Structure 1
Amino acid sequence: MGNSALKAHLETAQKTGVFQLTGKGLSEFPEDLQKLASNLRTIDLSSNKIEILTPVIGKFSVLKSLSLNNNKLTTLPEELCKLKKLDTLHLNGNQLRQLPAGFGQLSALKTLSLSGNQLRTVPTQLCSLRHLDVVDLSKNQIQSVPDAVEELQAIELNLNQNQISQISVQISHCPRLKVLRLEENCLELSMLPQSILSDSQISLLAVEGNLFEIKKLRELEGYDKYMERFTATKKKFA
């Protein structure tokens, strides 16, 4: 892509606070974007070939939404964690194995999508994020859900299409968790904590495609309590 095209995009971004350049084969974060570090609220560089997110990202102090879906990122810089206004972060379809240590400092984050990466665990940094609503960790290589998850503030947690065979009973203590998606994992029925049914806030539990028949779920103690929550929620949205 020529410089003049990039320049036109930058000029538009300066007026709108939005920079969107998707599917252009970019191999790096456009250096010229730095000039707009103080007024960009949205950056979308999805479907490019970016391998490294430059530490400069930490200077985008008013950034609210960052989308880097379908790139070639293997790591994220610690500087990303300085973005105190960031509320939406989309990183689907990269090659991330972990999140920066300081990720829990992204205090405004509400929506986080990390579907289709190479995470092996649920990142415990997520438990420090007080405003998190939706976390998508589907299509990774996660094998278990740790005890620390009880601190997670998310309303929806998507763990579909992982390799999960173990779930900490602490997941029942998540204060705001209403939707838990565990489809297409490696769960035996005995490994599904019954407290999710009997003693949690969860009103939608999706467990199709595991190592048990769904009808067996209905025989578990606590299923009636779960159905009460499920039905009450349905009525609310009907």
Structure 2
Amino acid sequence: MGNSALKSHLETSQKTGVFQLTGKGIPEFPEELQRLTSNLRTVDLSGNKIEALPPSIGNFLQMKSLTLNANRITSLPAELGKLKKLETLSLNQNQLRSLPGSLSQLKALRSLSLSGNLLSELPPGLGALRHLDLLDLSHNKIHSIPPEVQELQVIELNFNQNQISSVAPSIAQCPRLKVLRLEENCLELSSVPHTVLTQSQVSLLSLEGNLFEVRNLRDLEGYEQYMERFTATKKKFT
């Protein structure tokens, strides 16, 4: 991309606080953005060829939304944890195998999207994000949901299209969880925790494409309780 075009983008961003440069094949996070650390609130660099974020990403203290979908990012710098105002972080379709522990410092984060990466387990430390509403871990390589899942404060948890064969019963203790998506995994009917049906707040449980017929869920203890929550929620939105 030519310098004049980038300069024009930077001038616009100076006024708007928004920098969007998608699908241009750029290989790295533009160094020129450092000039805008004091007022940049939204950055979208999706559809490029970025492999890493520089440590200087931690300088963007006003940033609220960072979108880097469809790049080639393999790891994230610890400095990302300095973005105390960040509310939305979207890293779908990259090559992440793990997350830095510093992500637990993003206290304002409301939405974390990590679909289509190479994660093999639930990233640790996310329970510290008290305002996180949505966690999307679909299309990864996760095999099980561990007991630590109960620490999450999310309203919606998306595990669609992983390789999950076991779910810790403690998932029912997630205090705000309403939507649990587990489509196209490796779950047997006996692997669905009764606690999700009997003891949780979950009002939408998505289980299509596992190793059992979804209609057989009605044979499980607590199915009627779950359906009462499901119906009540549906009425609220009709």
Deviations 1:44-72 (A, max 9, x none): 00000000101110000000000000000
Letter in 2 for 1:216: N
Give the whole-Å Cα distance in 1 for the aligned partners of 2:103 and 2:63.
Answer: 16
User: Is residue 184 of structure 2 the alignment partner of residue 163 of structure 1?
Assistant: no
Displacement of 1:102 in angstroms is 1.3
Letter in 2 for 1:13: S
Letter in 2 for 1:123: P
Deviations 1:180-219 (A, max 9, x none): 0000000011111011001100000000000011111111
Contact 2:101 2:124 in 1 (8 A): no
Contact 1:37 1:59 in 2 (8 A): yes
Q: How many residues align?
A: 238
Q: Which runs of 5+ in 1 are unaligned?
A: none
Letter in 2 for 1:158: N
Letter in 2 for 1:154: V
Give the whole-Å Cα distance in 2 for the aligned partners of 1:105 and 1:78.
Answer: 10
SS at match of 2:233: helix
Deviations 1:101-158 (A, max 9, x none): 1111000000110000000011122111000001110000000001111010000000
Displacement of 1:174 in angstroms is 0.3
TM-score if structure 1 supplies the norm length? 0.99
SS at match of 1:124: coil
Letter in 1 for 2:175: P
Give the whole-Å Cα distance in 1 for the aligned partners of 2:139 and 2:23.
Answer: 22
Give the whole-Å Cα distance in 1 for the aligned partners of 2:190 and 2:202.
Answer: 19
Contact 1:197 1:222 in 2 (8 A): yes
Give the whole-Å Cα distance in 1 for the aligned partners of 2:5 and 2:215.
Answer: 57
Matching of residues 13-32 of structure 1 within 5 Å: 13-32=13-32
Contact 1:124 1:149 in 2 (8 A): no
Give the whole-Å Cα distance in 1 for the aligned partners of 2:53 and 2:77.
Answer: 7
Alignment match, 2:148: 148
User: Is residue 124 of structure 2 the alignment partner of residue 124 of structure 1?
Assistant: yes
User: Is residue 219 of structure 2 the alignment partner of residue 215 of structure 1?
Assistant: no
Alignment match, 1:113: 113
Q: Which runs of 5+ in 2 are unaligned?
A: none
Give the whole-Å Cα distance in 2 for the aligned partners of 1:211 and 1:46.
Answer: 35
Letter in 2 for 1:100: P
Matching of residues 23-172 of structure 1 within 5 Å: 23-172=23-172
Displacement of 1:93 in angstroms is 0.2
Give the whole-Å Cα distance in 2 for the aligned partners of 1:98 and 1:162.
Answer: 16
Letter in 2 for 1:175: P
Give the whole-Å Cα distance in 1 for the aligned partners of 2:110 and 2:101.
Answer: 18
Give the whole-Å Cα distance in 1 for the aligned partners of 2:171 and 2:219.
Answer: 21
Displacement of 1:16 in angstroms is 0.1
Deviations 1:37-96 (A, max 9, x none): 110000000000000101110000000000000000000000001100000000000000
User: Percent same amino acid at aligned positions?
Assistant: 68
Tell me the C-alpha RMSD between the 2 structures: 0.5
